[in-house]
A and B are shown apart, each in its own frame.
Chain A
Amino acid sequence: MAQTITIKGVTRIEGHAQITIELNDDGSVRDAQFHVTQFRGFESFVQGRPLPEMPGIMARICGICPVSHLMASSKACDDILAVELPPAAVKLRRIMNLAQLVQSHALSFFHLSSPDLIYGMDSNPASRNIFNLAASHPDFALDGIMLRKFGQEIIGLLGGKKIHPAWVVPGGVSAPLAAPHRDAILASIPEALERIGRGLDRFHAVQDNYPAEADAFANFPTMFAGLSNPDGTLEHYDGTLRFVDEHARLVAELSAPREYPQFIGEAVEDFTFLKFPYFLPRGYPGGIYRVGPLARLVIAERCGTPLADRELGLFRSRLGRAPQSSFHYHWARLIEILYGIEMIRRLLEEPDILSDHVRARARPNRFEGVGISEAPRGTLIHHYKIDRNGLMTWANMIIATGHNNLAMNRGVRQVAERFVDGRKLREGMLNRVEAVIRCFDPCLSCSTHALGTMPLRITLQGADGEVYDVLTRN
């Protein structure tokens, strides 16, 4: 008899979601779906608001990655103002974006995903969390917490506060960087590099314990998308949006952000509030692509900073030029933390970084603008239209998690097929189904997040509604 397993309240991710696994009569997996169960409505309620308010309002989408929305939103506003930003403003925005990258990646890896890797996928779920990690591996947990603090402190020093700083504004930033703040950040860099070095060592020690997971965690050929630099280095703030195939060969490159609707379509399915962006020329769902740290490392020829490039060399020597398993997002994330710290130092050492010319003033000079930046989770697109008075008439956002939606759904199905056996249900099987989602580090609402505290209830139900088995986790 056909059965359905529902994982209601997927834990250790940013936001609310559930997973449904449908079983055949023999207990094998027939299908699996990833549902995002919350609806936000930002694109509607910004209508009628003045354009300069957009970065501040849009940043409220998320408490984890508000800086990413500040970047994409401000860039969309810059496009409408048609201004060229002062060089120091661009550098300061880049520093904040990288700080955001470091803190978010640290949260994703150390706080949310590492318990699976350190303790094992089948370990006791009650102890599979950051708190237990702090007890059993205090140095490792502390490194994660302090790396997150490193990023958050930089955001706070630049923007005045760590969450939702109003400092990034259309045309630049609202205040220059003070010399003592620059010096404080520079002084904290060596320690941050040590911490990520130890984190990488720990990851290398455990990464080979999961060959089955590396083989089945959303391991299929897809395209990758992300920002790119002409010189082939890693890019998170500017550059051109590029699509590459599963062999890292160029498929398409946008010459301007406003071209994205020619390349990205958005499909809607009735089982989730999250749309399914796809590469338009290849249709739906054939135009599946992935974004985020793994995609960025596939697209870039090199990182552009020495320590990160050395680690990228190791990454490629072991996994090839374009690894297809999403399990490797974890390693990519750690490499990006390393890159972020190195790059922050490089930008802070620029001679004009303390310049007080950090804002270009202009009025709207276009009715439409698009901003693209790389959030920790991947490419983030904000697209706005205004009326002749400068009031918002329309907005569209494609967030990183959306780009990965097709891949996450296919990944959930792949993991379920490999690990879930309906005849003898075990918690560890379902944890793997969640763990593949964690690889993508989805930010579902971008507003709420759970830290292993949401109750998880898995029900094994027959087609006639009879409950065969229930697993609960609190």
Chain B
Amino acid sequence: MNGGKHATAESITLTIDQNAISCRNGLSVLEAAREHGIDIPTLCWLEGLTLWGGCRLCMVEIEGSPRLFAACATQCTEGMVIHTQSPRLHRYRRTIVEMLLAERNHVCSVCVSNGHCELQAMAQRLGVDHVHLPYRFPRLSVDNSHDFFRLDHNRCILCTRCVRVCAEIEGAHTKDVKGRGIQAAIIHDLDQPWVESQTCTSCGKCVNVCPTGALTHRGTAIGEMIKKHEFLPYLKLMREVHQ
């Protein structure tokens, strides 16, 4: 394109936050940035799962276009000039987190994931010390029917990590999303209580990838739920090795 001396079929060069970088062709902006130690905030994205592009926290500015791009869903191209930090992006990201907090009942102080929650950590990182939108306080249920796990719709941000890990890694596809917009909710099978699901293998992957206190171990008290999703890239790699 620019006759760049670094560009090859396998690698391209681009600029992220004034850093000229080179990366493999085919990477997303998010992957390229993280490979070079540039952190772009995300909530729905998780290494090892297909991309969803739902949370919009990874929005970046690309020179030459007035609109914003989701870094997770935008492929790097040669010569791209990307900005991951700007007052506009900060404002949008904060607003997104504020909207997530206002949409359902995220009461950190009495949440089982208090202190270990990605949404809480994101709010702290982005400096969300107030929510400027009116809280909706919806009346949502808690599915505590499963022997080991619990789904608390009050804490769900609909990132769909649980849906994806269940379908893509475990292969059960027990979880999915019902409804649209503000009515959307995670369901099991045909919107049954979790315990009645015929497909759930009780593997617990959904719990470990959930970024908030929506999916937790049953019986955990305030602040006790600590998620471990380091297993995911490892599990995926091992599967590829054996295939």
A in complex with B: yes
Contact pattern, B 145-183, Cβ under 8 Å of A = 1, otherwise 0: 100001010000000000000000000000000000000
- Looking at the assembled complex, report how far the CB atom of B136 sits from the nearest CB atom of chain A, in whole angstroms: 15
Q: Which residues of B lie under 8 Å from residue A60 when comparing CB positions?
A: 109-110
- Answer yes or no: A389 CB below 8 A from chain B CBs: yes
- Answer yes or no: B141 CB below 8 A from chain A CBs: yes
Question: What residue in chain B is nearest A57 (Cβ atoms)?
Answer: B110
Question: What residue in chain B is nearest A56 (Cβ atoms)?
Answer: B222
Within 8 A of A (CB), among B114-154: 114, 141-142, 144-145, 150, 152
Asked whether B224 lies within 8 Å of A169 as measured between CB atoms, the reply is yes
Q: Which residues of B lie under 8 Å from residue A52 when comparing CB positions?
A: 112, 219-221
Bound-state Cα–Cα, A174 to B222, Å = 10
- Answer yes or no: B204 CB below 8 A from chain A CBs: no
Of B114, B221, B223, B224, most buried by chain A (CB within 10 Å of CB) is B221
Partner of B144, one of A166, A169, A391: A391
Number of B interface residues in the complex (CB < 8 A): 17
- Answer yes or no: B218 CB below 8 A from chain A CBs: yes
Asked whether A49 lies within 8 Å of B142 as measured between CB atoms, the reply is yes
Asked whether B223 lies within 8 Å of A48 as measured between CB atoms, the reply is no
- Answer yes or no: A176 CB below 8 A from chain B CBs: no
Partner of B222, one of A48, A55, A361, A390: A55
Asked whether B144 lies within 8 Å of A170 as measured between CB atoms, the reply is no
- Looking at the assembled complex, report how far the CB atom of A395 sits from the nearest CB atom of chain B, in whole angstroms: 14
Given contacts A48-B141, A164-B109, A389-B144, A55 and B221 within 8 Å (CB-CB):
yes
Contact pattern, A 174-214, Cβ under 8 Å of B = 1, otherwise 0: 10000000000000000000000000000000000000000
Bound-state Cα–Cα, A18 to B219, Å = 42
Bound-state Cα–Cα, A164 to B111, Å = 13
Asked whether B224 lies within 8 Å of A53 as measured between CB atoms, the reply is no
Question: What residue in chain B is nearest A168 (Cβ atoms)?
Answer: B221
Asked whether B142 lies within 8 Å of A48 as measured between CB atoms, the reply is yes
Given contacts A48-B141, A60-B110, A53 and B219 within 8 Å (CB-CB):
no
- Answer yes or no: A316 CB below 8 A from chain B CBs: no
- Answer yes or no: A286 CB below 8 A from chain B CBs: no
- Looking at the assembled complex, report how far the CB atom of B162 sits from the nearest CB atom of chain A, in whole angstroms: 18
Bound-state Cα–Cα, A276 to B185, Å = 44
Q: Which residues of B lie under 8 Å from residue A174 when comparing CB positions?
A: 221, 224
Asked whether B144 lies within 8 Å of A56 as measured between CB atoms, the reply is no
Q: Which residues of A lie under 8 Å from residue B110 when comparing CB positions?
A: 53, 56-57, 60
Question: What residue in chain B is nearest A169 (Cβ atoms)?
Answer: B221
- Answer yes or no: A281 CB below 8 A from chain B CBs: no
- Looking at the assembled complex, report how far the CB atom of B25 sits from the nearest CB atom of chain A, in whole angstroms: 49
Asked whether A166 lies within 8 Å of B223 as measured between CB atoms, the reply is yes
Asked whether A166 lies within 8 Å of B221 as measured between CB atoms, the reply is yes
- Answer yes or no: A232 CB below 8 A from chain B CBs: no
A-B contact list, 27 entries, CB within 8 Å: A48-B142, A50-B142, A50-B144, A50-B218, A52-B112, A52-B219, A53-B110, A53-B112, A53-B221, A53-B222, A55-B221, A56-B109, A56-B223, A57-B222, A60-B109, A166-B114, A166-B221, A166-B222, A166-B223, A166-B224, A169-B221, A170-B221, A174-B221, A363-B218, A389-B145, A391-B142, A391-B144
Contacts from B to A (Cβ < 8 Å): 109-110, 112, 114, 141-142, 144-145, 150, 152, 218-224
